[in-house]
Amino acid sequence: MDRYCVFGNPIAHSKSPAIHAAFAAQTGQSLTYEARLAPLDGFAAAVQAFIAEGGKGANVTVPFKLEAHKLAQALTVRAQAAGAVNTLHFTEQGIIGDNTDGAGLVADIVNNAGVAITGKRVLLLGAGGAARGVVLPILEHRPARLVIANRTVATAEELARQFAALGGAGVVSGCGFGQVQGPFDIVINATSASLQGDLPPLPAGVFAPGTLALDMMYGAQPTVFMQYATGHGALARDGLGMLVEQAAEAFAMWRGVHPATGEVLHQLRAAL
Ligand code: ATR
């Protein structure tokens, strides 16, 4: 039976094994998928050990996405643009690194939330790894503009500069939170502020009635960002849909069949 796993540290609470088991059952694919704790200083060795055991592919989560990018012998365009890898494919040609986070986010916005990105004003909060991973897939949907806002302004400006060269010229710009001028149709929180219960200090007028406000974080309760956005008339959404969609993209890369995600998302939501 083909073997897959997710590497992380910590990893015990990963939902990926349950998600991929559900995808396998639904599509009639015969495979196993387990969670593997890699030592903080032993990611590459853990991957090599899994390959030696016959592993066919792996997902990679915190804190190993940059190391996975270095380890891969070939990178998809979206993994190159993201500068990070969340999906490894072990092939006869070597280790291929992909990044399905951005495609997962876009699929959740377009297919699950039913909100088109094309022609829209999009605000991306944060300029770290999570933000970088989603810029190219968003630009591929041709928004009217994409503003990247970050606490450290220079990082946002640098990210915007890099993606201006990748089809974002005239569309993408970077600034600090205080310089953001709304309103926006879609606001995505890719900062890790929610983890500390913090809110990026957004100026008034960012949200309009009906703005889609998506936090990449999720939990049993709405995040502070979701609560703030809802209070300003936005439709708030957490990152659970993105999680399931990035998994579906990885599954499709490995198995050549794209699973349906609705029922899996429903079950995960009920179990939060
Ligand atoms: P990740 O992989 O989750 O993106 P990261 O690369 O460390 O992690 O990036 C964290 C992001 O959250 C950064 O954009 C960071 O802003 P800085 O570049 O200024 O550090 C942002 N961030 C973290 N805590 C924040 C807070 N309390 N308020 C606003 N932004 C915050």
Kindly list the domain boundaries of the chain, sorted by start residue: 2-99+241-271, 102-238
- CA of 171 from ligand 1 middle (Å) equals 23
CA dihedral 213, 223, 86, 100 (to 10 degrees): -20
- CB atoms < 10 A from the CB of 271, how many? 9
CATH 3.40.50.10860 fits 2-99+241-271, yes or no: yes
| Mean of pLDDT over the chain | 96
**pLDDT mean over 223-234:** 96
- The pLDDT assigned to 167 comes to 74
Least confident of 49-63, 111-125, 196-210, 233-247: 196-210
Res. 254: pLDDT tops 80: yes
State the pLDDT confidence band at 204, using cuts at 50, 70 and 90: confident
- The pLDDT assigned to 71 comes to 98
Res. 261: pLDDT tops 80: yes
pLDDT in tens, 158-197: 999 999 988 778 999 999 999 999 999 999 999 999 888 8
- The pLDDT assigned to 169 comes to 85
For the chain, give the percent of residues with pLDDT over 90: 96
- The pLDDT assigned to 78 comes to 96
Domain 2-99+241-271 matches domain 102-238 at the CATH topology level: yes
Decide: 198 in ligand 1 pocket, CB within 6 A: yes
Res. 63: pLDDT tops 90: yes
- The pLDDT assigned to 123 comes to 98
- The pLDDT assigned to 142 comes to 95
Which fold, 102-238? Answer: Rossmann fold (3.40.50)
Beta strand pairing status for 94-98 and 87-91? antiparallel
**pLDDT mean over 135-162:** 97
Note if 65 is an active site residue: yes
User: Which residue in this structure is represented by tokens 């009217």?
Assistant: 144
Element (H, E) at 58: strand 55-60
Nearest atom in ligand 1 to 125's CA: 14
Catalytic position from the list 56, 65, 70, 120 = 65
Q: Transcribe 92-131 into DSSP letters.
A: TTEEEEE--HHHHHHHIIIIIS----TT-EEEEE--SHHH
Give, as one character, the DSSP assignment of residue 165.
Answer: I
Decide: 222 in ligand 1 pocket, CB within 6 A: no
For the chain, give the percent of residues with pLDDT over 70: 100
Q: Let me know: does 29 contact 23? Beta carbons within 8 Å.
A: yes
- The pLDDT assigned to 165 comes to 84
- CA of 99 from ligand 1 middle (Å) equals 20
Decide: 171 in ligand 1 pocket, CB within 6 A: no
**pLDDT mean over 125-140:** 96
Decide: 191 in ligand 1 pocket, CB within 6 A: yes
Beta strand pairing status for 87-91 and 55-60? antiparallel
- The pLDDT assigned to 15 comes to 97
Q: Let me know: does 104 contact 167? Beta carbons within 8 Å.
A: no
**pLDDT mean over 125-152:** 96
Q: Let me know: does 77 contact 101? Beta carbons within 8 Å.
A: no
